[in-house]
A and B are shown apart, each in its own frame.
Chain A
Amino acid sequence: MSKRQIELEVMRYDPEKDEAPWFQNYEVPCEEDWAILDAINYVKENIDTTLSYRWSCHMMVCGSCGMMVNGEPSLTCKTFIRDLPDKVRIEPLENFPIERDLVVVLDNVMEKLQTAQPYIIRKDPPPSDDKEYTQSRAALYKFKQYTMCINCMCCYAACPQYGLDQSFIGPAALALAHRYNLDSRDQGKAQRLDILADHDGVWDCSFVGACSEVCPKSVDPAAAIQQMKIEGAKEFWKQKLSGGKS
């Protein structure tokens, strides 16, 4: 297989040494079928061992290799050399503080994922040990796409609202909450909406839709948020008309 020479322009930043992020260029002889992650791994193994970045599975499952590739939030294991020009700029995910080089600090989003209460909430007591919650195939398909999220955070890097105001709960956490709200076994919708339809929740989304465009797993967080706005509006009137919380 023939090789292709690619120039990688990689953002470097060591908070202990550098005042500001800077770019370092690497010439990488790439195989035609390589993903960008292969090229970065080549740099780490053969050119510059000091380069820091996250990756694990190389098969679109772990969600740790999200980076900006030519300005677009991308999973680098899913972004192929053959689809890119000879010069490729690699930066850490936008809207996050940089820990070092291409590694970003995800603490803020990790906390937000917890506010989504991403687990089945029941008001009824759980069934006995030998019984399970049953669910029809149709009920599963209602939320199945939202279970595909791998928390790569590309949607947060793409979201202009999160960029403007980091208190916004943001696409992945809201899509995750919506996944449980739609689950026929769950009874926690009102409890979740109480938090997620509050001030920093769904209403801060202005439906730009960039989250859904960049999602490498074809989850549609923008749709989830709009559907949650409808549910939130319904919940608001339900609470008002019943004179308190439902």
Chain B
Amino acid sequence: MAVAKKAIVWGLFAAGGTVSSFVFPALITLFFLIAVGTTPDGLQYEKIHEFAASFLGKACLFIVISLSLWHAAHRLRVVFHDLGVRKDKVVANAVYLAAFVGTAMTAFYLFLIR
């Protein structure tokens, strides 16, 4: 016996949970602030674009988006299990493939920002 490969996806799930629990409440607050028309200066399009074009900005966005995807994927897999779906392999392959594709697309589109 050995430690199961589930350790990898659980590690990504845990890291994603930690990151998203910090970042997403702030994002939701900002979303409402912008929706009622009070966009802070630092969040104007040009500033955000400048941030996303820098290496540090790209790295931050990549970490937040990809880890959140892996977190969501693993959470969905567990939800399917809790709901009594007994096709763990199929579910796991589907959700992790989605997270993988999402991660690759995140990297690709971040690379395009200049």
A interface with B by C-beta (< 8 Å): 160, 164, 193-195, 197-199, 201, 203, 206, 229-230, 232-233, 235-237, 239, 245
Contacts and interface: CB of A to CB of B under 8 A. Distances in A.
A199 B3 contact: no
A160 B82 contact: yes
Contacts of A236: 3-5, 7-8, 11
A79 B14 CA distance: 36
B14 to A, nearest CB: 7
A197 B8 CA distance: 12
Given A198-B4, A233-B7, 8 more contacts: A206-B81, A230-B14, A233-B8, A233-B11, A235-B7, A236-B3, A236-B7, A237-B7
B10 A233 contact: yes
B88 to A, nearest CB: 10
Interface string B75-113: 000100110100000000000000000000000000000
Contact of A201 (B4, B8, B11, B78): B4
Contact of A199 (B6, B78, B82): B6
B1 interface: yes
Interface of B: 1-8, 10-11, 14, 78, 81-82, 84
B4 A239 contact: no
Contacts of B7: 197, 203, 229, 232-233, 235-237
A206 B3 contact: no
Interface of A (DSSP majority class): helix
A94 B1 CA distance: 30
Given A236-B3, A236-B7, A206 B14 contact: no
Given A203-B10, A230-B14, A235 B82 contact: no
A245 B2 CA distance: 8
Nearest to B78: A206
B83 to A, nearest CB: 10
Given A164-B81, A164-B84, A206-B78, A229 B10 contact: yes
A203 B9 CA distance: 10
Q: Which of B6, B78, B82 has the most CB of A within 10 A?
A: B6
B3 A194 contact: yes
